[in-house]
Amino acid sequence: MSPERVPLCLDLLPALRGEDTTKSFFQELVNILLSYVCKSFRRSSKVLDFHHPHQLREGLEGFSLELPDQPENLEQLLVDCRDTLKYGVKTGTVRAVDCFAENVPKMYYRFTYEVSPVFILMEEILLRKMQEIVGWSEEEGDGVFCPGGTMSNLYSVLLARYHFFPEVKTKGMTALPRLILFTSAHSHYSVKKSAAVLGIGSDNVVVVKCNDRGKMITAELESSIITAKDQGCVPFYVNATAGTTVYGAFDPLNAIADICESHGLWLHVDVFTLYSALIGSYMQVYLNYVYYRAWSVTWNPHKMMGAPLQCSAILVKKRGLLKDCNQMCAEYLFQTDKHYDTSYDTGDKTIQCGRHVDVFKLWLMWKAKGSEGFESQVNKCLENAEHLFDKLKQRPDFELVFKSEPEHSNVCFWYIPPSLRNMSPGPERNRRLHEVAPKIKAKMMEQGMAMIGYQPLGDKVNFFRCVFSNPATQTEDVDYLLEEIASLGHDICIRTETDL
């Protein structure tokens, strides 16, 4: 992606903007932070400059929390940062002896509006924007930021269970019939993990078969649901994946939604495993995706949107469910006799107490890139994947794991060392091929010039998996990577041919 092709403020990556711009921006930012820190330790400083939610929402002296389509310029970003600090609570002051206060000025605490007025509203605005993109109506939609996509998926199972069996909250699983949930063989392991943690049991997760391309076979899903019912169990939840971890495959969402509808099951869509496929009209149109049919969605901005981990959101169609499911009404935190609208106190929606402010980085990125910037960033990664796919098709020393075009930014392939090129397929060739990727990777790590993952999957022996998420990666880097693998692989196989 050449600098000319990206919007001016797409990113602060030195590779895209020039090192000087990056440096001067961050130095200015640090000055803002330092004067904030120093100021908040002075006794004359206010702990906070209080405004009611509606005041802050409407915008104060040009401070707008709304998310733009077009990127803002760097000067405006600095103003945004300054205003975020200005309207927040200075928890570092020596005169804040609330249970929330600490000895560092920080942007880390949130569960009531009084402690985090800015971040509470930021989260609301971001979640609303995300729900709009999913396609839910104005009357629908709720959500919360979670410590990672695995936790978001856990929330989805927790909420689905509570939706069908609210008595589980007080009575526990022993009061319930045997529940069954469904996910594909290529889905993320967090669905099984959630079942184990929530007391449902991993055996009660039915793993539905996938086709060669890693997509859930819907006929298998439907027959599994019927089988479970016949056995006296209660199916309640289906996880569909939009971008699987390894293949980057998209389950057939519309067909799965039909099945869920006819059986009355909760449909969760995990846009977790790889990237934020929700962003970018390209993906939405291309895949004809109908996210609005989901009852819940896991969306991970820390993947392809480039937010630093952790930054994951669980979005829920049914409003109020998060709070009903999770609230414990601890009166020492969530008093209702406060002097502002306490419906903004979101702490009781979560299974955590205080949370890390994951919203701020996403909010600032959105200001810096705009919706269009995210879209072009995602598209650039998809272009890199296409480039790699085209290259691999042409080379005799590589073999694609599947021949169809990549649907997302994952490309899976084997390097075939000279000694294996003329071997006929079979167990012996597989046994040898299985050892190739780990050996190349070990060399690569010791040399340290590139990094790529590998894994086996089902009947496929160890293969490389290339996943593009860095918009600064150019086609020349893709070419370099292939040459690097070929050169390391060629070398290894010569020296260890007898082992193979």
Residue 254 is encoded by which pair of tokens? 């519309």
How many residues touch a second copy (CB under 8 A)? Answer: 131
DSSP conformational letter for 72: P
Phi-psi region of 180 (alpha: psi -120 to 50; beta: other; left: phi over 0): beta
Q: Is 2 in the site for a second copy (CB under 8 A)?
A: no
Phi/psi for 205 (5° steps) reads -100, 115
Query: Which range touches a second copy (CB under 8 A), out of 72-80, 131-139, 198-206, 423-431?
Result: 198-206
Q: Is 343 in the site for a second copy (CB under 8 A)?
A: no
Residues 126-185 that bind a second copy (CB under 8 A): 147-151, 154, 158, 161, 168-179
Per the omega criterion (within 30 degrees of 0), is the bond before 284 cis? Answer: no
User: From the CB of 455, what's the least distance to a second copy, in Å?
Assistant: 4
Q: Is 431 helix (H, G, I), strand (E, B) or coil?
A: helix
Closest CA to 463 of 247, 250, 272: 247
Closest CA to 243 of 175, 309, 289: 289
Residues in the chain: 500
Amino acid at the residue 284: Q
User: From the CB of 285, what's the least distance to a second copy, in Å?
Assistant: 24
Q: Which of 262, 438, 487, 495 binds a second copy (CB under 8 A)?
A: 438
Residues 61-80 that bind a second copy (CB under 8 A): none
Which residue has tokens 């000087």? 20
Q: Which of 55, 70, 73, 103 binds a second copy (CB under 8 A)?
A: 103
Q: Is 224 in the site for a second copy (CB under 8 A)?
A: no
Q: Which of 53, 135, 201, 252 binds a second copy (CB under 8 A)?
A: 201
User: From the CB of 288, what's the least distance to a second copy, in Å?
Assistant: 26
User: From the CB of 361, what's the least distance to a second copy, in Å?
Assistant: 10
Q: Which of 78, 185, 207, 333 binds a second copy (CB under 8 A)?
A: 333
Amino acid at the residue 49: D
User: From the CB of 350, what's the least distance to a second copy, in Å?
Assistant: 8
Q: Which of 8, 219, 226, 353 binds a second copy (CB under 8 A)?
A: 353
Residues 451-490 that bind a second copy (CB under 8 A): 451-457, 462, 465-474, 477, 480-481
User: Could you tell me which residues come within 8 angstroms of residue 206 by beta carbon, excluding any fewer than 6 positions away?
Assistant: 180, 181, 182, 183, 224, 228
Q: Which of 79, 207, 351, 364 binds a second copy (CB under 8 A)?
A: 351
Residues 157/325, Cβ–Cβ less than 8 Å = no
Query: Which range touches a second copy (CB under 8 A), out of 77-85, 131-139, 223-231, 449-457?
Result: 449-457
Distance of alpha carbon 323 from alpha carbon 289, whole angstroms: 29
Q: Is 8 in the site for a second copy (CB under 8 A)?
A: no
Q: Which of 2, 4, 99, 422 binds a second copy (CB under 8 A)?
A: 99
Q: Is 3 in the site for a second copy (CB under 8 A)?
A: no
Q: How far is CA 388 from the centre of its chain?
A: 24
If the CB atoms of residues 371 and 377 are measured against a second copy, the closer one turns out to be 377
Distance of alpha carbon 113 from alpha carbon 240, whole angstroms: 35
